Copies of this chain bind each other. A is one copy, B any other.
């Protein structure tokens, strides 16, 4: 049975977004959920973790449950690259008994499920869901459009990620025309920084260091405690410093509660940080990668900076040939 037929026939589908949900997970979940509800189906919208406060403006967010009901006929996984990412909602027996549709845009998707709609070139899973709704000729209501546009905006950092295409902007236009209020969505997404995060940014950035084209920032457990925020709140710091004109690489070291150190890496085009991340037991993309290492922080800093400096030195001739980062404004 084709994926389209399966979805057309579904009456009580269980739609699941991944744990630690972001705007695209919740946006694609609600976007598809609204379309199905408007067709008279009885979807269960589920996520093992709660909806972040910043997304609690989305229509239908309060109908998302953390446990299934038990009478489902199809399972649809959204934006999740593997079954572990479904958290407590993954149930081996249930997943063996029902058709499982896997809708995702992560290149690392392990291709679970009986039906797959995986498009690594799509900027977001919300984009894939929008295309699917068009193909099925299902209506896109203002509610569905609002959720899908939120997914599109959050996964592209408002059309600024390097994979953003004219197609993504065209979809945004269509979603606005379907009733998604762009300015209102941006207002909600942008007015959501806890004051403790501002203090954290301040104290971490005051101590930021730039050496040999590498800008680095450190967030200790002590700092997180004093600012009253979690490690996840610090993650935006690496994008902030990745814009430093003199840097080819940005690194963020975040101490976890258990003492291990999370390492976030960003680089300019032409410099590939995925190799260093992989060598240290992590992974990722050329321009955005990461790994987690046993502490203490000082040792991790020395190891990672040494690896990066070595990689940069080896890459310099190639960078110069590209007319690369030295002359790059």
Residues of A within 8 A of B (CB): 53-54, 56-57, 157-160, 162-166, 169-170, 172-173, 176-177, 182-183, 186-188, 190-195, 198-199, 201-208, 210, 215, 240-247, 268-269, 328-329
Given A159-B159, A198-B215, A243-B192, A187 contacting B329 (CB threshold 8 A): no
Q: From A328, which residue of chain B is reached at the shortest CB distance?
A: B191
Chain B, residue nearest A203 (CB) = B206
Q: Knowing A158-B158, A192-B243, say if A205 contacts B210 (CB, 8 Å).
A: no
Contact indicator A187/B244 (Cβ below 8 Å): no
A240 CB to closest chain B CB (Å) equals 8
- A191 in complex: contacting residue of B183, B199, B245, CB < 8 Å: B245
Min CB–CB distance A215 → chain B (angstroms) = 7
- Whole-angstrom distance between the alpha carbons of A94 and B242 in the complex? 46
Q: List 26 A-B contacts (CB under 8 A).
A: A54-B329, A159-B159, A162-B187, A163-B183, A165-B182, A166-B173, A166-B182, A169-B173, A169-B176, A170-B173, A173-B173, A187-B269, A188-B328, A190-B243, A191-B242, A191-B243, A191-B244, A191-B245, A192-B243, A192-B329, A194-B245, A195-B208, A195-B210, A198-B240, A198-B244, A205-B205
Interface residue from B160, B198, B240, B246 paired with A158 (Cβ < 8 Å): B160
Contact yes or no, A329 B199, CB < 8 A:
no
Chain B residues whose C-beta falls within 8 Å of the C-beta of A190 in the assembled complex = 160, 242-243
B183 touches A164 (CB 8 A): yes
Inter-subunit contact B202/A207 (CB<8 Å): yes
> Which residue of the partner chain B has the closest CB to A241?
B198
Judging by beta carbons under 8 Å apart, are A169 and B169 in contact?
Answer: yes
Say yes or no: A195 contacts B215, CB within 8 Å: yes
CA distance A6 to B165 in the complex (A): 37
Known: A205-B205, A206-B202, A206-B206. A160 touches B186 (CB 8 A): yes
CB distance from A323 to the nearest CB of B (A): 12
Per CB-CB distance, the 3 closest pairs between chain A and chain B, nearest first, are A202-B205, A202-B206, A166-B176
Complex Cα distance, B183 from A157, in Å, reads 12
Q: Which one of A164, A166, A191, A201 has the greatest number of beta carbons of chain B within 10 Å?
A: A191
Instruction: Identify 17 new A-B residue pairs, CB closer than 8 A, beyond the known A198-B205, A202-B207.
Output: A54-B329, A159-B159, A159-B182, A160-B190, A164-B186, A166-B173, A169-B176, A170-B173, A190-B242, A192-B329, A193-B243, A195-B208, A198-B208, A198-B215, A199-B208, A202-B205, A203-B206
